[in-house]
Amino acid sequence: MIGRYLLVVLLVIHFTNVHSADTIQWFQTSEGNHDRITPQKPIVMNTTPLPTTPNRIEVTTKITYQTIIGFGGAFTEASSVLFGLLNDTLQNEILNAYWGEGGNNYTMGRVPIGSCDYAIDSYNFDYQPGDYTMKYFDISHDLVEMVPFMQKAMSINEKFNGGTVSTPINLFGSAWSPPAWMKANGQMDKTPTSGGLIDDPKIWKAFALYYVKFIQEYEKNGVPLWGLTAQNEPLSIVPWEACWFNSTQQRIFLQDFLLPALESAGLVSPTGPSKLKVMVYDDQKSSVAYEYIGDVYANLTTQHLNEIWGSSWHWYSGPQFDVMEGIHELYPQFHILATEACDCFPPNSKLPLPYWYSGEHYGSDILGDLNAWAEGWVHWNLMLDEWGGPNHDNETCDAPIIITGVNYFDNGTVDYSNSSLGIYYQPSYYYMGHFSRFIPPQSVRIGWVSNVPQLQVTSFLRPDNLIATVILNTSDQPESFTYVNIDTGEWASMTINAHTIQTLLHSSV
């Protein structure tokens, strides 16, 4: 639908020539060679009349969409523990790879509120049954590995930005489960549809206060949160930590408990910009999102609706970008953020290194989400070991950075103390970089048209007035095309190899 509309609009935009030809700086990651976000020979664009070539990708700044917040990954306990095992040299390499100069320039991050599947074991911050006032709330668990990791990331990010936090790491929290004493099934994991919060207002109010305490304690320890999702995957039936919330339950929790608690703490406001960005849903790109998000948005009071920033989304149900786009069309005043993605394997299997599919999966999903109005994209674990761990649920999942050299013994125990630990960059790290390095916060998505069906495309106008266009080819064949800046009439003949991603940078005028 967007493509047809854009094509009509672009046909009425007249070409205008500039005095001197622009130059395309472009970068490439390709399975067929050693290019990994590798700069290529610059291409001088043509100012001569546009040739009648069949394959074209055309961009224009005359049409604009959403503004980008950023890209990032999750500071899980698994990633934090692995980071803590590395020596100073390897830690600095990780910090620079994600947040330092020459790295992926991550400006977002997800923080589990209590344990999730990618924790070493289940834990929470208040083990005292009936502690409705959170007198015994204690985040000391997170102060061992997780908060120090975030603090170091924030520090290197600040240095990269010239000693100021002009581009901070926007961290948002997500809870997988409340403490077991708050849940109907009496345990943090294995949540059936009847295993959500105990049906008692004192419990629901206590869980809302649990969130507030977490945000306050993190800020006291130098880690302020930018946002909060109401519940991780509220419709998931899984063996690890979870808490069922149907749309009515989430709406009631927000309306009567969470938003009033956040408002009392000065974290949200119905009349002005809120300090904390509250997101609903945090689940899959499936058609159920229409009913779920619609119920929450339609039935919250105006006061509390004004305290909702938008919705958050995961990728595990498949590339149903039309659902995300449909939610934007129904509720354009609310924001959209992609908040979790990873590829997984059968338990007890060793990760393939490299795993090219995961890179292309990242690239394809990021492109689809951005073109469906997502304002950022955050993957799951920042790093894992070669066996897709550590975690307490026998899962094997991939991450952009893999810590190698971990010894597993026959009895299933792990030796993380050996001195041969190293760092391996999966293709997904480089595919992420094609977006996060070149589409900084405050970039605005612009209009584009492509008649090359084998290629996925998106394009952005950056704050420095450069256009960044990302082109992905997941097919087995190279594709040639004419790249056109509609606004200036300049063009260039280009080719993208099979299983390759490119980012193009050039002036917008």
In tens, the pLDDT along 274-286 reads 999 999 999 999 9
Closest by CA position to 10, among listed 18, 2, 22: 2
C-alpha 61 chain-centroid distance? 25
Percent residues over pLDDT 90 in the chain: 86
State yes or no: pLDDT of 209 exceeds 80.
yes
**Gap between the Cα atoms of 147 and 165, Å rounded:** 18
Q: Of 311, 314, 285, nearest to 300 (Cα)?
A: 311
**pLDDT tier at 348, thresholds 50, 70, 90:** confident
Tokens of 155: 């520090």
pLDDT confidence of residue 413: 61
Higher pLDDT, 326 or 160: 326
Q: Rounded mean pLDDT of 29-33?
A: 97
Give strand pairing partners of 493.
Answer: 482
Q: What is the mean pLDDT of the chain?
A: 92
Query: What pLDDT sits at residue 414?
Result: 65
Residue 419's pLDDT is 60
Asked if the model's pLDDT at residue 420 lies above 90, the reply is no
Please report which confidence band the pLDDT of residue 14 belongs to, taking 50, 70 and 90 as the band edges. very low
Task: Over range 351-375, report the average pLDDT.
Answer: 98
Find which of 151-160, 412-421, 462-471 is predicted with most confidence, using mean pLDDT: 462-471
Say what the pLDDT of residue 232 is.
98
Buried/exposed 42-69: b ≥16 CB within 10 Å, e otherwise: ebebbbeeeeeeebbbbbbbebebbebb
* pTM of the predicted model as reported, rounded to 2 decimal places: 0.93
Report whether pLDDT(2) > 50.
no
Mean predicted confidence (pLDDT) in 52-72 = 96
Mean pLDDT of 84-95: 95
Structure tokens at 13: 């935009």
Cβ-contact 37, 437 below 8 angstroms: yes
pLDDT of residue 406: 81
**φ and ψ of 326, to 5 deg:** -65, -40
